Structure 1
Amino acid sequence: MADASDTPAGRDYRETVFLPETPFPMRGGLPQKEPQIIEQWGDLYAALRKQRQAEGAPLYVLHDGPPYANGDIHIGHALNKTLKDFVVRSRFLLGHDVDYVPGWDCHGLPIEWKIEERYRAQGKRKDEVSKAEFRQACREYAAGWIEVQKAQFKRLGIVGDWDNRYATMDFPTEAAIVAEFHKFKNSGQLYRGSKPVMWSPVERTALADAEIEYHDHVSPTVWVKFPVTGATDDHADDLLAFRHSNPSVVIWTTTPWTIPANRAISYGPDIAYGLYEVTAMETGLEFEPWAKPGDRLIVADKLAEDVFKAAKIATWTRVDGINPSGLECAHPLAALSTGYGYSVPLLAGDHVTDDAGTGFVHTAPGHGADDFEVWKAHGHHEVPDTVDPDGAYYDHVPLFGGLKVLETEGKKTGKFGPANGAVMEKLIEAGTLLARGRLEHSYPHSWRSKAPVIFRNTPQWFIRMDQPLKDDGTLRERALAAIDATAFHPAAGKNRIRTMVESRPDWLISRQRAWGTPLAMFVDKETGQPLHDAEVDARILAAVREGGADAWFDRPDADFLGAHDPNRYEKIQDILDVWFDSGCTHAFTLETRDPAHGYTGDRPSHWPADLYLEGSDQHRGWFQSNLLEGSGTRGRAPYDAVLTHGFTQDENGEKMSKSKGNTTDPAVVIKESGADILRLWVALVDYAEDQRIGKQILQTTVDAYRKLRNTVRYLLGALADFDEAERLPLDQMPPLERFVLHRLWELDRDVRAAYRDYRFQDVVRPVLEFCSNDLSALYFDIRKDSLYCDRPDAIRRRAARTVMHEVFLRLTAWLAPLTPFTMEEAWTTRFPDQGSNCARVIPETPDDWRNPAEAERWAGVQSVLEIVNEALEGARRDKIIGGALDAWPVVTGPAGAFAPFEGLDAAEVFRTSGVELRTGGDAVTVEVRLADHPKCARSWRRVPDVGSDPDYPELSARDADAVRFWDARAT
């Protein structure tokens, strides 16, 4: 039907047209409306759990990876929590009882760093404040941000057990973490070892791999000569052949500051090495090079030319091949200090390559993982301590005592100090520097302070990865078996975490900071072994449960040790790595509420969780710490499935940065457009990959939202006053309605499967296409005339309203997890007394709606319809017709093209007043002719029966019958 505002002269029939009516506005007004809906929901999560438990629903557990309680949420938080909410709401929608307890990670450096900054602003150093006061300040800081973030997450529409949220700093939680730590201590998996770890001098603590990020950095590079001084007996003949020329082994390094810690040189057993003699130097240089003719240098043959180019050596001669095995060298600083008078052996190492450098690796076992391993593998046990916790050489280091490797105070904090330069100057003085340069490369930094880190030998506590356990293999083997038993979404996540676990070193769990859960144990000073006493452990747990971690630090040792002599035991003051903290969350959040462990309350959970969901970086972080903790204490991972998402970039695919000004603040998006817009963006992206967001992308999301909203709005208007008495049974449905019901059956099948598999994009995109193509462009357009102009009891109109009712029931359910505010508004607009839309399950869709034959028919109809529409649009542009109802097209084509129209009113399908279908030709063609009949004053159709009813001479027979019905009802 055309717009009724331009009716012919005579009676105004507009009041008789059944136009859609609904209070549901076209504009969402989400920023104002959503807070009202949140208030109406109240404790929606608790209500949903209670309802599902009463229904006997199966339990589904999503365990929350805790965000850090430090600052407002950012777009990454919004993505993560919204995806989790999709899971929670969709599982409720699929008929589950869902356990989801939000939590927070509260310990560790970021908060400690903020509190230190606060004290510095007051002119106080951290060590001028008592530990108790400092920790209390940290606790209050974290507690404040928990409340801020909680409110921000709730505004996003996130449902969960907010009243029972967990936090790693709660007293009972700290006690539970200590209890998990004690399990490792008492099982023998824990040990104290002295080995190089990534150390942040700025933060004065060891860091785990998950706390490291890599940035480009320019380092000084040096080529250093180690004079050959001797060899083992079986190598004596080789040595005598060139001893008179004082040959030197040449190493290359990007960390000159580690030269004072050198104890060996590593070589590759399969690399070809040669003894080279310098015959001439480059000329015309602005400086005098450190090499000179006659020097004899030992390097890898493959790298000799690169080395000599760096040293400005013009020509050289290869004297002989060299087997480095058994050679011994002098330290390059030996001539300047007797402190470097020890012998430097050459050790075979598989980590050495001839891809770059010299083919020899300077080996400082206190400052590199490979260096440490090769040193130990050759029977050496003493590992020198060269650099202190503040990043300065210890006073005992010859020539360099007190010099800073990294600055930790003042404006230069985080910058490299004078150590590199001082070492190079001493190498020049000793005559052992061959060349130097600069190299831009990727260098490890602390992801918190952004300052460079160093490898530094220090006593730390580790959990063994490869020690055989009492029952079934090593921790590494248990973890790998658990990975194989876990479902990963996407599947590539399995290989990623598996590779990490296969190659990871022992788990470093100790940190030298103040704000965290302590390694609450005593160590026997005589044996160096942790104390194993169940009663001591019980007293420790009771104290921490009552007074938090502070109790460990504040109470005297005797309170815990009982009959043990306090003088015999060392009280460990380190805190646990925060990844260990969060790796234990499954124990105190899930296991304690598992009915299998005796829980009888109204908030049941189960262990293991059905799903963990975090960013892909958590393969080396939270996923892995939970994997190791669960495998070490319970023999398996605390999860059955893992889902990972990518990171959010700006519209140009660049990393977001406040300094670049390219961030998208979720609070701003919510304030301007509403949370449903942000949620719809999350639903539309492929979360498994890195996503993009920005103003233009959000505008596209707004456009998609409008399509959804307008579809729902049209349904609400068309369904005004619909009741069950109007419902039409399936066997009376016209073909078009049968087709739409079939599409509902298909979508219902696909939406359920997509939700089960966490494919949220495969929910919203097909639904959007259904709304745009099947509904708006086809069904609504065809049935508009019937809805507006048929009498209310007409079969065709009843069929349309029955099907639209079914569409409404499913659309509002399917989209409830993704755009809950809009679907709640739509549902309560139509059914104000039927509870929350969020509490519904997807309505069962009858199998007899499935109708592939009708789908095939309408595929054929639409192929012809597209051609007819194109012809009608051309006729409108050429002003041959004003609208489709002015046309009576002649459509010609092969018989097969019109077979789908059998039993259909083709004019109704084309939205024209009439149509003539002619068989002929090989392709469908259209001739647009004018409808040569009077115009109905009500529906605007030009049909032959206009005027056939004497009571309504301006109307078609159908419209006259409808107006007669209207007039009778009006009287």
Structure 2
Amino acid sequence: MSAKEKPAANAYKDTLHLPVTDFPMRASLTEREPERLAKWEKDGLYQQIQKQSTGKPTFILHDGPPFANGDVHMGTALNKILKDLVAKSKTMLGHHVPFVPGWDCHGLPIEFRVVKESNGLSPVEIRQKSEEYARKYIDIQRASFKRLGVFGDWDHPYLTLDPCYEADIIRTFAKFVEQDLVYRAKRPVIWSYGAGTALAEAEVEYKDKTSPAVYVKFDLVNTPEFATDASLVIWTTTPWTLPANLGIALHPDFDYLVGSFTNAEGSTQKLIVAKSLVDEFQAKNGLTLSATLAEFKGKDLAGYEAQHPFLPRTSKVINALFVTAETGTGQVHIAPGHGADDYQAGLANGLEILSPVDDKGLYTDEVGLPDLVGVHVFKANEPIIALLQEKGALLARHDYKHQYPHCWRSKTPIIFRAVPQFFIKIDAIRQQALAEIDNVTWLPAWGRNRIHGTVESRPDWCISRQRTWGVPLPVFYHSNGMAILDKDIICKTADIIEKLGTNAWFSKSDAEWAQLLDLPDNARRGQDTLDVWIDSGCSSIAVLERNERLHAPADLYIEATDQHRGWFQSSLMVGIATRGRAPYKSVITHGFVVDTSGKKVSKSDQGSDKNAKPMTADHYYNKYGADLVRLWVSSVDYLNEVPFSEELFQQASESYRRIRNTLRVLLGNLHGFDPAKNTVKTEQFTLLDRWILERLENVKRECRDAFEYRVDGVVDVSKSYDFRKVFTVLNQFCTVDLSSLYIDITKDRLYCDASDSIRRRATQTAMYKVTETLCLLLAPILAFTADEAWEYLGHSKSVHLEQFPEVQEVFPGENSTVIVDELLKVRAIIQQSIEKARQEKLIGSNLDALVELTLPEKSFNNAVFNDLPVLEEFFILSVLKINRSSEITDPLALVQMSPHRRCARCWKHLPSVGQGTKPDLCDRCTEAV
């Protein structure tokens, strides 16, 4: 533009129909979202949605309860927003979706924190402080979930500490008892000496640990002739369990040899080793096999005995199929009181269950070694190794680095320890549980194999815990120590708990309980609590079946991958034992949120690492806004691990800005458009309008299918809930189809045509349809922004009260997309030539150019290529000339400076400039002003 032209152009600025909207360019989400949230709550939006959708097909997404401990971190935010994306999209697809959020309130982490902060509390005081702690974080987490735009019945959540819920837990236990699934036994459990309690498998985490590994001789006694004077050799990484050794297991079918082994000093020993492990055994022990004296099968030694290396007793030689030939010697040290396999093998062979270790991990008198009584088992490794050396039973030792289970709360290594506990018989319900797994749809599909494997291999369920903050295990004992397991007594206990709460179990005396339940006067209460996985596992009964708005089984459960051995499995087992079915029809497993190094993000890590970058949800919604967090969730592949950092999160900000700017431009271009008065007829749409509306229908179809994919009316879960696809489709539609093409190309007609021209109104009609549809499809993801834009469209009700638009065939028999695809190919060639001319300073912009386009004779023959006004608009040119040639196969574009004068209003170089009443305007602009 020359200096002389600028005043003329400015003179007509007020005649242009530039975009006008109050929809802000700056989102200011951190200020505006809380205001919109307050409005939603004041209007009772969730209740309006529920009322409006009553009578439609009900879809139940059951909320797996987060633990009421700590702030909401990004992993929890991912989970809750995924649930909200499901609930909002299902509602807008025409379902009734009541969502009742819940919290898991009992358990070790809360009690551990309370006891740590206040010593010397009575059980009732511990429980009071634990409940205060839980309720504090319920309020904190609820506020975060609401701030994230998650809709639900937040005023009536389910809490596992509510007396009604606690009573249902106890009634569920009564069902177990009624079916003879509960028994008490002394058998090894996962024990946390740091927390002083048994643990569930899901409460165990694995960390690197270096243990002393030893090769130990057990001299055979009363042996068959081929093993006379020979010694069995075991390899173990837990020398501290050797005082509890009562047996040695060999695989019945392995080949073993009796060999003469020589050490570096030249002395020989007669040792027994699995043949396949001889080479490794020699290397690890500094021995050489000088002669093979005999060979035999493991079953040939079964029933014989070996002398314990440092205690005055023998160990029985047994056979066991769990013995492997992967490492060691093919002979396994058996301590039935310190391992699940050992226990089963000991039980099968009549061995005692010896576990000389107390709650704190200290040896008791039963250890048989006075110097070790009161010593912690992990500190006893070295004294025991020294004793083995002294007795001549130690062949070798080395350090062994391995993944070892640790208590998730106290962070101490766990031990396996036999103590009297209550168990549920898993074998009695295992096959039915496995069958039900195959009646459930799993997404991803590998979820089926994971839970099938854990159920197939899990031992009996240890359901008793040595804790105070939990639901009491409702068992009474006679004076002789015999447990009273009676369904009717347990159900009466549940009725009392429903009225008084579980604190009554701890505050009332044994005599008071005996009177309430008509028990013998000398009956005493048990002090254990139930495993908290029963608490949450009962939710289908205590929530879905109790609440008349819900139903069981639920249509969907969604949790992270650790729940195959946690809530998914406990819910399944409770469902099978009490109802004979799984409590869910479909299960989605999402990955963990991990940092850029691949480490899982957890609340405990955040609390322990003061240098850790923020991973709590409030940091991100307070800094960027909840819609940014929601957009991030929609953009990730949640079925796998989800890498996260603030830098990665900021990429979502770029996508948000593009989408918001698109909405703003669309709203601005709708200024002065009244859909009731200005909507054009179908036949009045131009090619561009027909094209964008065709694309809009494709976008609708792709998004609806991604939210809920149906085949013959039946939902295919494996192809549904694809929120990443929704994000990709909408992001691309805004960025490419709208911003780069439709909005850019139609600027001229919108700004420069007469305000009520048919062509301009056609574009506004199309833009109105596009904007409405974008708001609707974005609503589950950008819950705040879509509602804001919906208001600016002139709607008085929230977008969340609407349904997704149905897919339609807007222009039957036409395919504008095919035509536009051809135009885009030509446009790319023209733009290349224009860019070259611009670099050569021949022209300044597209509108300065006169383009001579030569098309091949036998292609690009659509009628549109004969319509110069349409082509000039599409290619954003002032003047276009078209030739045909039989000598080329691809279009050619020649660019020169237009010889025509430039219109001071639309800036096109046109032959009609100055031909009318306005000397500096083209004929169109003359008419428009």
Q: Normalising to structure 1: TM-score of the pair?
A: 0.90
1:179 correspondence with 2:171: yes
Aligned counterpart for 2:612 among listed residues 655, 661, 676: 661
Which of 252, 277, 280 matches 2:260? 277
Show the 5 A alignment for 1:637-656.
Answer: 637-656=582-601
2:789 maps to a residue whose letter is A
2:722 matched to which residue of 1? 759
- Supply the distance in 2 between the matched residues of 1:268 and 1:538 (Cα, whole angstroms): 48
2:427 counterpart of 1:466: yes
Residue equivalent to 1:354:
325
1:439 aligned residue? 400
The one-letter code sitting in structure 1 at the alignment partner of 2:49 is L
1:633 positional shift? 0.4
Residue 8 (structure 1) shift: 5.6
Q: For residue 331 of structure 1, what is the amino acid of its counterpart?
A: Q
| Matched letter for residue 916 of structure 1 | K
Moved more, 774-783 or 652-661: 652-661
State the partner residue of 1:257.
Answer: 240
| Counterpart amino acid of residue 774 in structure 2 | L
Equivalent position of 2:901 in the other structure = 934
Within a 5 Å distance, the mapping from 1:711-860 to structure 2 comes to 711-723=662-674, 724-756=676-708, 757-831=720-794, 834-849=796-811, 853-860=815-822
Distance in 1 (CA, whole Å) between partners of 2:240 and 2:2 is 83
Distance 2:366 2:804 in 1: 74
How far apart are residue 369 of structure 1 and its match? 1.2
Identify the residue that residue 240 of structure 1 maps to in structure 2.
225
Summarize deviations over 1:141-189 as a string: whole Å, max 9, x none. 1111111111111111111110001111112211121111111112211
Q: Which SS does the other structure have where 1:273 is aligned?
A: strand
1:111 aligned partner: 110
Specify the SS of the correspondent of 2:59. strand
Distance change >3 Å, CA 870–CA 697, structure 1 → 2: farther
Shift of 1:116: 1.2
Distance in 1 of aligned mates of 2:642 and 2:79:
12
Deviation string, structure 1 residues 641-693 (Cα, Å, up to 9, x no partner): 11111011223444445436245332222222111111111110101111112
Q: Which residue of 2 aligns with 1:289?
A: none
Question: Residue 713 of structure 2 corresponds to which residue in structure 1?
Answer: none
- 2:711 alignment counterpart: none
SS in 2 for 1:566: coil
Residues 895-928 of structure 1, C-alpha deviations (whole Å, 9 max, x = no match): 4543243464211111010212222201122211
Aligned to 1:470: none
Q: Give the C-alpha shift of residue 12 in structure 1.
A: 1.1
Q: Distance in 2 between matches of 1:821 and 1:521?
A: 51
Q: Corresponding residue for 2:302? A: 326
1:208-267 CA distance string (max 9 Å, x none)? 111111111000011000001014xxxxxxx23452xx2110000000001011111011
DSSP-derived class of the 1:610 partner: strand
1:812 maps to a residue whose letter is C
Number of the residue aligned with 1:959: 925
Q: Could you tell me how far apart the structure 2 residues matched to 1:222 and 1:404 are?
A: 23
1:150 aligns with 2:150: no
Letter of the 2:460 counterpart: D
The residue type paired with residue 133 of structure 2 is Y
Residue 16 of structure 2 corresponds to residue 17 of structure 1 = yes
1:603-653 CA distance string (max 9 Å, x none):
x11111111111111111111111111111011111111111101122344
Q: Which amino acid aligns with 2:264?
A: E
Equivalents in 1 of 2:661, 2:138: separation in Å?
38
Query: Mean alpha-carbon deviation: is it higher for 549-558 or for 362-371?
Result: 549-558
Are 1:521 and 1:571, in contact at CA under 8 Å, matched by a contact in 2?
Answer: yes
Answer whether contact 1:229 1:330 (CA < 8 A) is retained: yes
Q: Which residue of 2 aligns with 1:673?
A: 624
With 362-371 and 38-47 compared, the bigger mean Cα shift is at: 38-47
- How far 1:524 sits from its partner (Å)? 5.6
SS in 2 for 1:198: strand
- Aligned twin of 1:589: 543
User: 2: distance between equivalents of 1:316 and 1:925?
Assistant: 88
Match of 1:481 in 2: 435
Aligned equivalents of 1:547, 1:381: Cα separation in 2:
46
Moved more, 650-659 or 106-115: 650-659
After superposing the two structures, state which structure 1 stretch, 107-116 or 345-354, moved more: 345-354
CA shift at 1:11, angstroms?
Answer: 8.1
Query: Which residue identity lines up with residue 657 of structure 2 in the other structure?
Result: R
What is the correspondence of 1:367-516 to structure 2 with a 5 Å cutoff? 367-378=338-349, 380=350, 382-400=352-370, 403=373, 406=376, 417-467=378-428, 475-516=429-470
Contact kept, 8 Å, 2:511 with 2:521, in 1: the verdict is no
Which residue pairs with 2:156 in the alignment?
164
Aligned to 1:306: 280
Question: Residues 385 and 505 from structure 1, CA distance in 2 versus in 1: closer, same or farther, beyond 3 angstroms?
Answer: same
Residues 531 and 661 (structure 1), Cα distance of their counterparts in 2 relative to 1, 3 Å cut: closer
Percent identical across equivalent pairs?
41
- Name 2:635's counterpart in structure 1: 684
Whether contact under 8 Å (1:226, 1:432) holds in the other structure is: yes
Instruction: Evaluate the alpha carbon distance shift between residue 19 and residue 565 of structure 1 in structure 2; reply closer, same or farther with a 3 A threshold.
Output: closer
Q: Deviations over 1:361-405 (max 9, x none)?
A: 011111111111122223x15311321221111112211575467
- 1:948 is aligned, of 901, 912, 915, to 915
Query: Does the C-alpha gap of structure 1 residues 436 and 662 become closer, same or farther in structure 2, counting only changes over 3 Å?
Result: same
Cα 1:533–1:785 shift into 2, 3 Å: closer
Distance 1:423 1:852, change over 3 A: farther
1:846, 1:171 → 2: CA distance?
52
What secondary structure, in the 3-state scheme, does the structure 2 residue paired with 1:60 have? Answer: coil
The equivalent residue for 1:599 is none
Cα distance in 2 between the residues matched to 1:524 and 1:814: 65
State how far apart, in whole Å, the 2-side matches of 1:788 and 1:903 are: 25
SS of aligned partner of 1:766: helix
How far apart, in 2, do the equivalents of 1:488 and 1:668 lie? Answer: 33
Count of aligned pairs between the two proteins: 901
**Which deviates further from its counterpart, 318-327 or 651-660?**
651-660
Is the CA contact (8 Å cut-off) linking 1:394 and 1:401 kept in structure 2? no
1:598 match: none
Any idea what the Cα deviations from partners look like across 1:516-572, whole Å, max 9, x if unmatched? 0011133566794643252x3343122211221111222234544457542564532
* Alignment partners' CA distance in 2, 1:489 and 1:539: 41
Provide the residue aligned with 1:610 in structure 2: 555
Of the three residues 580, 594, 604, the one matched with 1:635 is 580
- Once the two structures are TM-superposed, the CA of residue 731 in structure 1 deviates from its matched residue by 2.2
- Aligned partner of 2:878 in structure 1 is 913
Q: Where does residue 209 of structure 1 map in the other structure?
A: 201
Does the CA contact (< 8 Å) of 2:170 and 2:491 recur in 1? no
2:121 aligned residue: 129
How far, CA to CA, are the matches of 2:2 and 2:329 in structure 1? 84
Pick closer, same or farther for the CA change 1:260–1:704 going to 2, 3 Å: same
Q: Mark the CA change 1:46 to 1:115 in structure 2 (over 3 Å): closer, same or farther.
A: same
Work out whether residues 812 and 823 of structure 1, in 8 Å CA contact, stay in contact via their aligned partners in 2.
yes
Return the TM-score normalized by structure 2: 0.94
Instruction: Choose which of 918, 924, 927 in structure 1 pairs with 2:891.
Output: 924
Local SS of the residue matching 2:329: coil
User: 2: distance between equivalents of 1:343 and 1:503?
Assistant: 32
Structure 1 residues 376 and 4 mapped into 2: Cα distance closer, same or farther (>3 Å)? farther
Which letter maps to 1:61?
A: I
User: Would you say the 8 A contact 1:611–1:639 is kept in 2?
Assistant: yes
* Residue 541 in structure 1 maps to residue 472 in structure 2: no
The answer to whether the 8 A contact 1:274-1:322 is kept is: yes
Structure 1: runs of 5 or more not aligned: 232-238, 284-291, 335-339, 407-415, 468-474, 595-603, 964-971
Deviation of the 1:793 alpha carbon: 2.1
> Match of 2:715?
none
Relative to 1, partners in 2 of residues 1:593 and 1:326: Cα closer, same or farther, differing over 3 Å?
Answer: closer
Q: Tell me if structure 1 keeps the 8 A contact 2:306–2:317.
A: no
> For each residue in 1:747-776, what CA deviation from the matched residue of structure 2 results, as whole angstroms up to 9, or x when unmatched?
111111111211101111111111111111
Give the secondary structure class of the aligned counterpart of 1:330. strand
Deviations 1:938-970 (A, max 9, x none): 101111222232x2222111111111xxxxxxx
